[in-house]
A and B are shown apart, each in its own frame.
Chain A
C-alpha cells in the first residue's frame, strides 16, 4: 500500500473540503425534511378539517385530549432529547479516539432510544384499546402512520448504533474515517430527534392550547 494511494482515496481532498459521507447525509436529511413535511402536513390538514376527534368501535365520540397521555409523551420526549446529548458526547469521544467513552455513551443512546420506542409501543397499545385504530378514522390513519414512520426512523437509528457499537470491537473504527462514520450516524440521530420535537409540538402539545385546544372544538381542559 503506497502513500500515494492513501492520498488519492482515503483522505482525498474534496472540492469543498467536506467529506463525501457527511455531504451525502446532509442531502439525505434535506430529502427527509420533505418526507416528514408531507406526513405532518397530511396530519394537520385533516386535523383542521375534522377537529372533533374520532368515534370508537361502539360509536361513541372520543376526544383526543382525553386519549393522549401528555405526561408520558413529555417524558419520552425528554428521554429522546437526552439521547441526543449522549450522542454528541459519543461523537466527541470518537473524534478524540476515546473508544471506551464512545462505547459507554453510544450504549446510553441505544438505551434511551429503546425507552422512547417502548413508550411508543405502550402508547400505541393503549390508544388501540381506547378505540383508536388505523381503520376507524382519518385521525387514526394520520396519527399512526406519522408517529409510526418516526418510530421506524428511531428503530433504524438504534440498529445502526448497535452495529457501530459491535463494529468498534473489530479495531476498524479508528482515525478520521471512524470519527466520520460516527459523526454521520450522529447527524441522523439528531435529525430524528428534531423531527420528534416538531411532531410533539404540532401533534400533541397544540391539543392542549387555549381553553379548548388549538383546533377549537376539543374538550375544555377543566374536564
Chain B
C-alpha cells in the first residue's frame, strides 16, 4: 500500500522528503505561497478562498445593482440602454445568488463544519478542492460573458463573419435570473445546422453552461458535507448535540442534492433546444414553455431555503453567545429547519399563480405556502426566547443578527401576502415582489452572513475587526437597505413593473425611486466599508485571544488561527454547547489519546482538482463560442471534456497519499488559556 512509503511524523510539512504519488509524480505537499493555495485540500484554506471569491462577486453584483438604481433614479433616464439594463439585472440576480450568497455560505460550511463536529478535515478533501475550483470556473464563465459584451461594444468583433451572422448581440445573459422560456429558448423550425431561430443572444448560452458548472460544484460540495456531518462526528457528538449551524448545513446540503438535479435537467433541455434544435420549450413545435417554469421553480424554491437556512444557522450560533444563554428550544429549532426544507419542495407553484394552474392546485400551493410560515415563525419565537432575559452584549455580530431577525420578519410578512393567490396576481412582476425578496435575501441572508463574518473572523485570522467601523457599516447597511427597499413596497402597489429599464414622469413614482437610489448608495457604501474593514483585518488587524466572545462550540476551544491539523487530540463531547460547558459547567472537554509525537494523518495536496476545474472552464467558454458560430469552437468543448476527465482520472490514480504531522501533546493548553482570557468586548 502507498502508506508504506510514509515518512516519520514531522513538525512541519516543509521537513518532508519529496514524495512521489502512485503516478510517479511529486506531490505538491512541500509548497508555500501561491502553489500551496492552488493545490491545498485544507478545508480552512478552501473556506477562506470561497469567502474571498464570494466577497469579490458581491462587489461586482453590487456595482451592477448601483447601475440599475442610477438608471431608475429619474424618469426617462438614459444612463444605460434598455439592452444593457436587461443584462445588468440578469447578471445582478445571478451573481448575487450563485456567486455571492451560495459561495459565502459554502465558505462557512467549509471552515466551520469540521471544527464544530470535532473532525480534522472533510470526508473527501480533494473533492472539496474540486468543488471550489469548479465554482471558480463557473463564476468566470458567467462573468466572462461581460468581456465578450465589452469587446462587442468596442467593435472588436465587427469584421468577423460569425459576428455579422448574429441576429441578437447580447453577449451577457439578459433573460432575468430564471431565464423563462420561450424568451430563453427557440421558435420555428431548426435548419440543417440543427439551429432554430432564437429570441436572445449568446448571453443565454453563457448562463446555461455557467449555471450548469456551478451546479456541479454545489452538488459535489453537498455530497461531501453530508458525508462529513453524518460520518465524521467526534466521539459523543450525537446528532442532537450538533451545533445548529452544522444542522442547517446538513439540511441545506440535502436540499441541494435533491433540488439541483431539476435545474440540471432543465438546463440540458434548454441547451438541446438552443444548440441542437430540440423542441422541449419551442412553442411552434408543441413545446410547453410553462414546463420550464415548473422545472425551474422545483429547483428555485428550495434554492430560496438553500440561501436562507445557513444564515438562520449562523444567527442561532450568535444569539446564545451574546446573551449568555443556551439556545431556547434547540430541538424545535432543528426540527423547524428540517420542516422548512421539506415544505420547500411543495410550494414551487406559488411563483406561477398567474399562469392559470386551475383552482385546486392554486389553493393547495396557497395553503402550503402559508403553512411554511409556521416553522419560520417558530424559529423567530425561539430566537426571541433566547434573547429574553439574557445579558445582551451589543457586539457587531449581535447587532447584525438582531437586524437579521427584524428585517427577515418584514420579508416574511410580505411573503405571507404573496401566498394568497388573488393578492399575488396583483403583485406579480411588480416592485412589491422586488421589495419582498430583497427583505428576505438582503435583510435576511446578507445581514446573517455579515454577522457570521464578524463573528468568526477572529477565529479564522486570529485578528479582531475594528469595532467602530463595524458598527458604522452595520448601521449604514440597515439604514440604506430600508431606505432602498422599503419604498419599493409602495412603488409596487402603485403599479411600477419589474424589469423595465425606465418609466415616464407623472405616475407618482419619481420621489420614491429617487429615495430608493439614495438608499441603495448608502447600502452599497456600507457593504463596501464592511468588506474593507474585514480585508484589512485579515492582514493587519489587531491580534486577539482564541476565544474573544466567550464562545460555546468546539471551534472556540482551538487556537486562532486554527492549526492545519485542527485538533491536536480528538475531542470527546459530553454535552451540547460543549466548550461553554467546559468553561462554566460540569461537563469538561476530554480528549482521545491520539496525535502528539505519533502525529496525525494529513491528506496530501494535489494539482488534479484544479486541473479538472480548468477543464470546466474550457467547456464553459467553448459552448457559448460554439453557439456564436465561431469556427472550431466545438473542438474547444471536446478538449475541455478531455482535460476534465484527465484531471479526474489522474486524481483517482495518484492515490490518496498523506503524511504524519506532529502535534502538541497537551490539548488542554489552548482550552485552559482560552478560559483565562476574558472577552474583548
What is the 8 Å Cβ interface bit string for chain A, positions 1-26, against chain B (1 contact, 0 not)? Answer: 11011101110001110101001100
Q: Is B667 an interface residue (CB 8 A)?
A: no
- Stretch of B35-43, B133-141, B220-228, B615-623 contacting A (4+ beta carbons < 8 Å): B220-228
Q: Is B660 an interface residue (CB 8 A)?
A: yes
Please determine whether B269 and A145 come into contact, CB atoms closer than 8 angstroms. Answer: yes
Q: Is A203 an interface residue (CB 8 A)?
A: no
Which interface class (under 10, 10 to 19, 20 to 34, 35 or more) fits B?
35 or more
Please determine whether A135 and B194 come into contact, CB atoms closer than 8 angstroms. Answer: yes
Q: Residue of A at shortest CB range from B599?
A: A5
Q: Is B601 an interface residue (CB 8 A)?
A: yes
| Complex CA distance for A37 and B660, rounded to whole angstroms | 45
Q: Is A222 an interface residue (CB 8 A)?
A: no
Please determine whether A32 and B272 come into contact, CB atoms closer than 8 angstroms. Answer: no
| Complex CA distance for A84 and B455, rounded to whole angstroms | 52
Q: Is B83 an interface residue (CB 8 A)?
A: no
Q: Is the interface of B mostly helix, strand, loop or mixed?
A: helix
Q: Is A125 an interface residue (CB 8 A)?
A: no
Please determine whether A31 and B257 come into contact, CB atoms closer than 8 angstroms. Answer: yes
- Stretch of A102-110, A136-144, A186-194, A206-214 contacting B (4+ beta carbons < 8 Å): A136-144
Quick one: which of A2, A24, A135 contacts B660, CB cutoff 8 A? Answer: A2
Given A31-B257, A31-B260, A137-B285; A4-B231 close (CB under 8 Å) = no
Please determine whether A14 and B231 come into contact, CB atoms closer than 8 angstroms. Answer: yes
Please determine whether A30 and B257 come into contact, CB atoms closer than 8 angstroms. Answer: yes
Please determine whether A27 and B598 come into contact, CB atoms closer than 8 angstroms. Answer: no
Q: How far is the CB of B606 from chain A (nearest CB, A)?
A: 16
What is the 8 Å Cβ interface bit string for chain A, positions 117-141, against chain B (1 contact, 0 not)? Answer: 0000000000000000011011011
Q: How far is the CB of A149 from chain B (nearest CB, A)?
A: 8
Given A1-B6, A34-B258; A135-B265 close (CB under 8 Å) = no
Q: Is B311 an interface residue (CB 8 A)?
A: no
Please determine whether A137 and B286 come into contact, CB atoms closer than 8 angstroms. Answer: yes
Q: How far is the CB of B293 from chain A (nearest CB, A)?
A: 13
Please determine whether A15 and B600 come into contact, CB atoms closer than 8 angstroms. Answer: no
Q: Residue of B at shortest CB range from A145?
A: B272
| Complex CA distance for A31 and B43, rounded to whole angstroms | 24
Which chain B residues border A10 with CB–CB below 8 Å?
Answer: 1, 3
- Interface residues on chain A, number (Cβ under 8 Å): 41
Please determine whether B278 and A145 come into contact, CB atoms closer than 8 angstroms. Answer: yes
Given A20-B124, A31-B219, A145-B272; A9-B287 close (CB under 8 Å) = no
Q: Is B312 an interface residue (CB 8 A)?
A: no
Please determine whether A38 and B265 come into contact, CB atoms closer than 8 angstroms. Answer: yes
| Complex CA distance for A1 and B259, rounded to whole angstroms | 43
Which chain A residues border B261 with CB–CB below 8 Å?
Answer: 31-32, 34-35, 37-38
| Complex CA distance for A24 and B253, rounded to whole angstroms | 12
Known: A2-B598, A10-B3. 12 other contacts (CB 8 A): A5-B599, A5-B658, A23-B226, A27-B223, A27-B226, A38-B265, A49-B288, A134-B277, A135-B276, A140-B279, A141-B273, A145-B278
Q: Closest 10 interchain pairs by CB?
A: A35-B261, A34-B261, A141-B278, A38-B265, A14-B231, A135-B277, A31-B257, A9-B601, A135-B190, A20-B123
